Amino acid sequence: MTENIVYLLREDHTPVEIIENFKRHLPDGFSLTFSSDTDSDEKRRGLITEADYIIVYGRSFGDFDVAKKAKIFQVLSAGYDRLDLDAFNKAGIPVCNNGGANAPTVAENIILFSLMLYHKVLLHHNGLQNGEWIGHVNAMSMYELRGKQIGIIGLGNIGRQVAGIAKGFQCPVVVHDVVDVPDALKKELSVQQVPLDELLATSDVVTAHVPLDASTRGMMNKDVFKKMKNSALYIAASRGPVTVEADLIAALDQGEIAGAGVDVFEDEPTATDNPLFGRENVIVTPHNAGTSVDTWTRRMEFAFANIQRVSKGEKPLAVVNGL
């Protein structure tokens, strides 16, 4: 008997090549139907009524009254803050994120941002684009990443990947997490767990990788930036509202930190006149630090494997709502 998978997607988030790839790799015994954000409510709800499994990327969900057959709600992103987990609990539907599928790509971007800022790549790139040969003028304000301490707030899938790459640059790594990191993991990653204030005061690069919830919303604020080194870099690549954008801008303006890499914003898409734009000590990207062909392949593989697991009566992986 064929089981039905419905993929709820935002058309502006999902290239057509990705959709075709999902179709090509659909496991035997399953059908796959796509519902874009331009579909009518009637069409979408009709598809959900028949869905044994639901995959979603970039969309919220509220059709619990017709999702009676759904055995799993598989999110292709790491974050799930758009979703009402209490409502899923009441409906008895496990919600699963992507199990770290995008973690390697995000981690590479954390290191990329740090390298670009330390080597003033934007300054020199823009100079040449504008016909100016800057040469070695900025030599005394350019640094290697090698040997700099990296402070990771939240040692989840992405944080662990950042720590692993940092080892290759011979960077000491300190971490802060709300739970005790197992000694075996600390040894494997060569990291030290420290209080947040110590991490902020001693790290050359600070990067936060926490889910967005009531406890983390606005956690990277003016008080945090004041505790960082004046020479430190801050990298934001989790969820925009984790960082108080106005406080980050003020910290940069006042020289409380030396630079920032910002992939996520409080409001997305962010305003075209965002004060973070146009600065040579700030790298900005449009919430795509976790995007690559490799990431999309892993998202797909994880989603289908999780669905097959549930189909065989096994518990899914990466459940975020406790079911």
Q: Would you please indicate which residues are annotated as catalytic (active-site) residues?
A: 239, 268, 287
Contacts of 39 (CB under 8 A, 6+ apart): none
Q: For residue 8, what are the β-bridge partners?
A: 35, 56
Neighbouring C-alpha atoms within 13 Å toward the C-beta of 288? 11
Cβ atoms within 10 Å of 25's Cβ, excluding its own: 12
Integer Cα distance of 294 and 161 in angstroms: 15
Q: For residue 53, what are the β-bridge partners?
A: 5
* Measured CA distances, 266 to 68, 220, 261, 286 (Å): 34, 12, 14, 12
Integer Cα distance of 60 and 63 in angstroms: 10
The alpha carbon dihedral of 47, 288, 197, 253 has a sign of negative
* Measured CA distances, 178 to 138, 181, 215 (Å): 40, 9, 11
Dihedral (Cα; 227, 230, 236, 242), 10-degree rounding: 30
